[in-house]
Structures are given as C-alpha cells and as structure tokens.
Amino acid sequence: MAFRIGSGIDFHRLVEGRDLWIGGVKVPHHKGALGHSDADVLLHAICDALLGALSLGDIGVHFPDTDPALKNIDSKILLQKTMDLIRAEGYHVVNIDSTLCLQEPKIKSYVPSMQDVISGIAGVPLNAVSVKATTTERMGFAGREEGLVAYATVLLQKD
C-alpha cells in the first residue's frame, strides 16, 4: 500500500518532583509527568501512531514499562527506535498532526522547539509536524491538573 495512516493517544499523571517533558522539550512547571520513562506524553502518542500505521503493535509491546533498561529513558530514543522500525518496513513519514490536552502550563512558546525535535527524528520538514494544544475548560482530570493527554495522527508513504 502506498499510504498508511495511524493514530495514537497517551496519558500521564502530573505529580510534584518530576520534570515535565513534552515533545522532547523540558517545559518549566511545578509538576512533571509520572512514568517509567521520562513520560513524554506527546512523543509516546506519536510512537503509537507510527506503530499503528503499520500494524506493528503499540509502544508497550516494543518498550515495556517493566524493562529496567528503559527506566527514565529519554523518549526521543524511543521515537528514534520507532522510526528505525518504520524505515525497516520501507516507509517514511509524510506528516504528523498532534494535540495536547492540558490545563497548565501554556506550551505555545515551546511548540517551535518541539517541532524541531520531532521533525529531526522523523526526517520531515518543520511544517510537516503540527503540535496543537487545548485545555479542557477545567473539566475532568486534565482540567484539575491531575494529568495530561496527547493525541497524534501520522501519514506514512511507501519509499
């Protein structure tokens, strides 16, 4: 098939005493995301979208949170390894679209850095990586700042 589409979603709790990594960028905030890795919700959603596009399972299959070697791992490495799998299947990324749901902090000023990181690893131009954000109008766990969510959609093309 010439084109494949994939979607991904990820959730992490927000807690005191952790760094907040989003899209490969450390965002200053009084809370950070809890997880086995650096808990980068956006990169995880993108990994799942990439894997989903080629029916390669999910991030938990490839990078289990029970693996001591992955403790606090930089999720940019997970995205790089995921891209290796995509390339091994003979596909490349056309574009990535994503949305973050979180109440705080405002991430707009960090989006260019996130696009830079993601486009570099995915091997696409900056304008092929979209990172959007919304609050939930203070509703639900994201609105109460208990956690955050990322959604990603990717389009792959056969080399």
User: Which residues of this protein are in contact with Mg ion, per CB under 5 A?
Assistant: 10, 44
Residue nearest to Mg ion as judged by C-beta position: 44
Nearer of residues 44 and 76 to Mg ion, judged by Cβ: 44
Closest distance of CB 20 from Mg ion, Å: 13
Range 61-69, long-range pairs (CB < 8 A, 24+ positions) = 63/37, 65/35, 65/36, 65/37, 66/36
Return the bridge partners of 72, or none. Answer: none
Nearer of residues 92 and 99 to Mg ion, judged by Cβ: 99
Nearer of residues 10 and 46 to Mg ion, judged by Cβ: 10
> How far is residue 56's CA from residue 103's CA, in Å, rounded to a whole number?
32
Question: Which residues neighbour 139 within 8 Å (Cβ) at sequence distance 6 or greater?
Answer: none
Closest distance of CB 22 from Mg ion, Å: 12
**C-alpha triplet 8, 74, 32: angle, nearest 5°:** 80
Closest distance of CB 137 from Mg ion, Å: 24
Closest distance of CB 2 from Mg ion, Å: 30
Nearer of residues 68 and 159 to Mg ion, judged by Cβ: 68
